[in-house]
């Protein structure tokens, strides 16, 4: 019985050896194909890096595209090598299994996959770069970093806001740094009895004297916008370089100071909201009770 088992094993080994010898040329060809595709994948990775890097300054996106190109070519080489070895059924099974696994992972990590895809599109389209001042989803701040999953935004209070890339991709986005300029709007109320033309000229002259304004897109202007309860509202507008030597809040602050100083020197009033109560002649006087909080506290004690 032991001898028959040995003979069966020898027979099997002989069959395997014959099969290995018969398929050895195909095996060597498959190995050569894999080596060739590995070399081609490295060459393609270098080409992708050189092509994408000048157009995309996000190194994370560049590295991702390089890795994807390498993986695609290596997988193609693996499938070709398996086809040479006569493993077409195995290739079909692998493709079907990969599809099922990909579908399951996509459903299980839907948010993650969505953010990754959005991060890739943001990196390719580049609606903003690191250091740009942007506004999206009600948040205003400076872009600190764009990763594959999220965008880091630092607001002007020093807080770091982590925004999912899918939200940044889908919501409207304003990039204040894209054009390199920004308009400063300063609302100011003018008293009804003031000379409006004089007030407008004084406000424009006051902000024109500021050394950081940019008149390339137009000189400063004062535009009256509406009749308010206690004033006629005017909006003083001027342009600045953004980002530039002076920040946007500082530019607006200096503009307000200059306008207030010019109005004070000219005697132009910036009125407070006032309510005037007029009693008809012969009407009863309104009862007024004066309330002394300190006296009430002493009584209660």
* Contact criterion met (CB below 8 Å) for 80 and 41: no
Q: How far is CA 86 from the centre of its chain?
A: 50
Locate the DSSP E strands across 37-118.
none
Report which of residues 1 and 262 the model is more confident about.
262
Compute the distance between CA of residue 152 and CA of residue 164 in angstroms, rounded to an integer: 9
Question: Which two three-digit tokens encode residue 227?
Answer: 């009749």
Over residues 270-295, mean pLDDT: 64
Residue 233 has pLDDT above 80, yes or no: yes
Identify the residue whose tokens are 């992708």: 48
Per DSSP, the three-state class of 262 is helix
Starting at the edge strand that comes first in sequence, how are the strands of the sheet with 221-227 ordered?
A: 181-190, 232-241, 221-227
pLDDT, tens digit, for every residue of 101-156? 565 655 555 677 788 888 888 877 888 888 888 999 888 899 998 887 889 999 88
pLDDT at 266: 92
Report which of residues 87 and 269 the model is more confident about.
269
* Contact criterion met (CB below 8 Å) for 249 and 257: no
Residue 205 has pLDDT above 90, yes or no: yes
Lowest mean pLDDT among 62-71, 139-148, 197-206, 213-222: 62-71
CATH architecture of 181-266: 2-Layer Sandwich (3.30)
* Residue 266 CB contacts under 8 Å (≥ 6 apart), including other chains: 198, 202
Compute the distance between CA of residue 16 and CA of residue 289 in angstroms, rounded to an integer: 112
Compute the distance between CA of residue 98 and CA of residue 86 in angstroms, rounded to an integer: 20
* Residue 259 CB contacts under 8 Å (≥ 6 apart), including other chains: 186, 188, 202, 203, 206, 207, 236
pLDDT at 293: 53
pLDDT, tens digit, for every residue of 30-75? 778 888 888 888 888 888 777 776 666 666 677 777 777 888 878 8
Residue 84 has pLDDT above 90, yes or no: no
- Tell me which of 2.40.128, 1.10.10, 2.40.420, 1.10.287 is the CATH number of domain 2-108: 1.10.287
Which of 72, 75, 51, 73 minimizes the C-alpha distance to 61? 51
Question: Which two three-digit tokens encode residue 50?
Answer: 């050189």
Domain boundaries, the chain: 2-108, 128-175, 181-266
Q: Which helix (H) or strand (E) holds 153?
A: strand 150-155
Locate the DSSP E strands across 216-262.
221-227, 232-241
Residue 191 has pLDDT above 80, yes or no: yes
pLDDT at 248: 86
- pTM: predicted TM-score of the whole model, two decimal places: 0.57
- Tell me which of 2.60.120.200, 3.75.10.10, 3.40.309.10, 2.30.30.60 is the CATH number of domain 128-175: 2.30.30.60
pLDDT at 261: 94
Fold match between 128-175 and 181-266?
no
Residue 214 has pLDDT above 70, yes or no: yes
* Contact criterion met (CB below 8 Å) for 209 and 258: yes
Over the chain, what is the mean pLDDT?
79
């Amino acid at each position: 019985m032991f001898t028959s088992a040995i003979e069966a094993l020898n027979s099997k080994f002989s069959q395997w050896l014959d099969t290995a010898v018969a398929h050895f040329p195909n095996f060597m060809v498959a190995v050569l194909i894999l080596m060739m595709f590995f070399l081609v994948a490295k060459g393609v990775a270098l080409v992708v890096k050189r092509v994408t890097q000048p157009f995309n300054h996000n190194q994370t996106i560049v590295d991702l595209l390089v890795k994807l190109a390498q993986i695609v070519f290596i997988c193609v080489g693996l499938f070709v090598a398996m086809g040479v070895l006569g493993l077409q059924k195995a290739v079909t099974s692998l493709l079907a299994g990969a599809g099922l696994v990909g579908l399951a992972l996509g459903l299980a990590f839907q948010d993650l996959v969505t953010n990754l895809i959005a991060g890739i599109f943001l990196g390719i389209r580049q609606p903003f770069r690191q250091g740009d001042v942007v506004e999206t989803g009600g948040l205003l701040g400076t872009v600190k970093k764009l990763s594959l999953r999220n965008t880091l935004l630092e607001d002007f209070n020093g807080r770091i806001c982590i925004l999912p890339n899918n939200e940044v991709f889908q919501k409207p986005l304003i990039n204040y740094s894209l054009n390199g300029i920004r308009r400063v709007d300063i609302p100011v109320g003018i008293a009804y009895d003031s000379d409006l033309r004089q007030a407008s000229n004084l406000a424009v002259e006051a902000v024109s004297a500021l050394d950081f304004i940019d008149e390339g897109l137009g000189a400063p202007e004062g535009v009256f916008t509406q009749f308010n309860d206690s004033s006629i509202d005017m909006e003083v507008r001027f342009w600045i370089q953004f980002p530039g030597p002076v920040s946007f809040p500082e530019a607006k602050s200096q503009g307000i100071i200059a306008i207030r100083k010019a109005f004070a020197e000219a005697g132009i009033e910036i009125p407070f909201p006032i309510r005037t109560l007029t009693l008809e002649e012969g009407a009863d006087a309104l009862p007024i009770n004066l309330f002394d909080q300190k006296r009430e506290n002493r009584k209660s004690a």
